[in-house]
Amino acid sequence: MAPRKPPTYAEVSYEVDHEIETAIAPFAPPEQAPAWGPDARLSVAGKPLPRVDGYLRTTGRAKYTYDLNLPGTAVGAVLMSPYPRARGVRVNPAAARKVPGVLDVMTGADAENGNKFGTRGAKLFTDAPNFVGEYLAAVVAESPEAAREGVAALAQSLEADEVLPHVVDVADALKPDAPKLDENGNARTGDPEGRGDVAKGFAEAEVEVGAEVSTPVETHACLETHGSVARWEGDALTVHDSTQAVFGVRSGLAATLGIPENKVRVIQSFMGGGFGSKLGLDRYTVIAALFAKRLGRPVKIFLTRRQDLLNTGHRPSSRQRLRAGARKDGTLTALELVSTGPPGSGCGRPISSLYACPNVRVVHTNVQINSGPPRPQRAPGDVQGATGLEVLMDRLAEKLGLDPLALRLKNFAEKDPSSGRPYSTNPLRECYAKGAEQFGWEALRRKRPGSDPGPLKRGVGMGAQIWPGGGAPNWKADCVVNADGTAEVRTGTQDIGTGTKTILCQVAAEELGLPIGKVSITLGDTDAPFGGSSGGSVVTPSSTPAVHEAAHDAKEKLLALAAPILGKEAGDLEASQGRIRAKGETSGGIPFAEVVRKANAGPVVGSGTRILHDRFREFAIYAFGAQFVEVEVDVETGVVRVLRVVAAHDCGRPVNPMLAASQVEGGVIQAICFALYSERILDRRLGDFVNANLHDYRLALLPDVPEIATIFCGAPDAMVSGVGAKGIGEPAIIPTAGAIVNAVHHATGVWCTELPLTPDRVLAALGVA
């Protein structure tokens, strides 16, 4: 049985070097900048400062890509397939050209780049769609209204040589009479992965339990839909894109158009949500660029809400059959997960890596159906897998008569179960202890499940998580100290709403010895030094060491310039509050601006790169956490309300605790959507997404948001970098849904394990009970 390999982002549509980069981490940071140890006295980093762009965001002055309207901009729109499966699909471009205001039409037959998309043989437009929502053609017009009318005219002209049978449900696709979507069949089961001898482990078990858990297809539902603005200046292309990966878009776009990368610039200033769906090049960007070249003017294309939900990916569903074997004292002897779902639905990392168990087996079957492709969605695979695992652990605890927390502590992993490597840090015990204490876990768990009088019943549950925390190598940054003593950080990564601009300014200000108000930042631009994709919680551990290094390099250059001015050796000087003075002095010295001016050196530029140490393979670097949830269930209506969440998480050093807590709160709220509300519904007969809008696709509203308390545990992780910070975006969403299912069981005494836990499903579970 092969060792369990966690699912990579590449398995869910995009090629993102996430798993390779986050599964490895440095033994000791090979940095020039002195590390900030756990007892470092910091004045800016580690403080809950407001966002540096908060004023722009809260006043509406922040310009998102959707807000950008360059002079002379034409507006594009795309026609997507209404067929779930068809061949020989075509449109009549003349139908759209008759519409007043329409400037041009594009199909696969006349796309200037040969109808190419990406480097794997994919087409920009298809004539053989395999799901409702594939690109068929595009229109560009003088106005959004004309573009929409042009697309409507194309839709009226649609013809197909053959409309084929389709299947959009995984269970239906496994039936013998299902339409055959692949010559090798609709299902493909991978080789078993894991460790040890699972059969032996179950034979040794004194207690065995099973669980079946189903999770839904969840869409990203970004408030800003996907879109781009493209313009050419000669042979140089500039694209403003709502993206999580400006460098990824640049390389993909250059390859697709057959032009050098140095002729493509991609910019993202503000973005209204991505959650993994905007991690690479999309077709609308290519179409906008081709239309802009044709017309000699800027072109803007944004998908409609329905198109955004149809075409830009989703978290795939999963159907999990789980088993656990244990001794009577709770020691795990075997764990098994057999899962089925559409492509990209593997979810085996949590069961393989969270608990100490010698025998683990994971088997996954991918099932081909006629629906849109999956894409990474905040902690891809782990949200589904942790939900199943944490339900299984609670069922085992129930059978053993153990407190669920005691069972988890019994099986705490002292080292990485998958690789055998020691952890750089593992404060999960601390997360358990502090979270349980603040929540009041011990007292609340004493209540017998379902024992509350009346229809409103309360219960509590918990869940735990693990997520790679080491970040990625080779992220770069510059730090420029200007002649007036201000500083600017420049790096190519993106702020996708998480506060990256703020924490990088804090790191630079701390290292330089400047007030944060004198530090500005430019990011989200391929003209800046390389920064990777904003996904997988890699941004903080990857970008903060690069900025730390760049600021240190700039400071060392300032000290060297100041030394002859002050008549001192550079090693005897320090920077503080924008001044350079002799070490130990609390006043005097000269301002940065005076140093730059007297040295006649122009702006002082420092550079930094995040480099992984040769010994990174000796350690496993992860972020851990545990969440405790209280729910209320109305057993007459089936409505579940989450009342309270205590989230105890490890993210190394929180560079800005307020923004880190905001990430935790956002993750918890998204997880509540996953557990209780959100579900893509496809019409089996038509193959169409019937709730593709934000009215019928249910998201949490303000009254649904519970009280959320965040606790940060652990210490700065020196194995990650001198800053010691890990990511928190993914970890926050992973354990919540399983904790909610467990809490509903504690409240009602029944197991409802088909998510989302909508009232009809809860009532059905109560009726069965």
- Tell me whether residue 296 is exposed, middle or buried, using C-beta atoms within 10 angstroms of its C-beta: 0 to 12, 13 to 18, 19 or more: exposed
Six token digits for residue 166: 């389709």
Q: Are 575 and 606 in contact (CB under 8 A)?
A: no
Q: Are 355 and 413 in contact (CB under 8 A)?
A: yes
Q: How many CA atoms lie within 13 A of 623 on its CB side?
A: 36
State how beta strands 135-141 and 74-80 pair: antiparallel
The span from the first CA to the last CA of the chain, in angstroms, equals 39
Q: What is the CA radius of gyration of the chain?
A: 27
Q: Are 332 and 315 in contact (CB under 8 A)?
A: no
State how beta strands 707-713 and 640-650 pair: parallel
Q: CB-based contacts of 97: which residues, under 8 Å, 6+ apart?
A: 104, 105, 150
Active site residue 261: no
For residue 732, the 8-state DSSP code is G
Q: Are 672 and 383 in contact (CB under 8 A)?
A: no
State how beta strands 456-468 and 622-634 pair: antiparallel
Q: CB-based contacts of 64: which residues, under 8 Å, 6+ apart?
A: 224, 242, 269, 270, 271, 272
> b/e for 393-428, b at 16 or more Cβ within 10 A?
bbbbbbebebbbbebbbbbebeebbbeeeebbbbbb
Separation CA 658–CA 51 (nearest Å): 9
756 prior amide bond cis, ω within 30:
yes
| Side chain identity at residue 304, one-letter code | T
Catalytic, out of 224, 510, 679, 730: 730
Six token digits for residue 398: 């129930």
Residues recognised as catalytic: 730
